[in-house]
Amino acid sequence: MPIIVNLDVMIAKRKISLSDLSEKVDISLANLSILKNNKVKAIRFSTLDSICRVLKCQPGDILEYTEEDTVF
């Protein structure tokens, strides 16, 4: 998947735990965990809005696009 979620980086920068973030954004710890581990298929704007508001960051700070390496 070319979209990388850098949630762990932002959590470390803001010095907040995943469980605290989960309480503040009202998303279950399990869902945040799969988001952090790049296992999600999609993210709602409402979720992105909540996370960015709590972590005081931009969507680009959490989501990063990388080109997939093609192997010949």
- Interface residues with another protein (CB under 8 A) are 27, 31-32, 34-35, 39-44, 47
Decide if 28 contacts 22 (C-beta within 8 A): yes
Measured from the CB of residue 4, what is the shortest distance to another protein in angstroms? Answer: 15
Which is closer to another protein, CB of 39 or CB of 53?
39
Q: How far is the CB of 3 from another protein (least distance, A)?
A: 13
Q: How far is the CB of 29 from another protein (least distance, A)?
A: 11
Instruction: Round the CA-based radius of gyration of the chain to a whole number and report it.
Output: 13
Nearest-angstrom CA–CA distance, 52 and 48: 6
Amino acid making up residue 58: Q
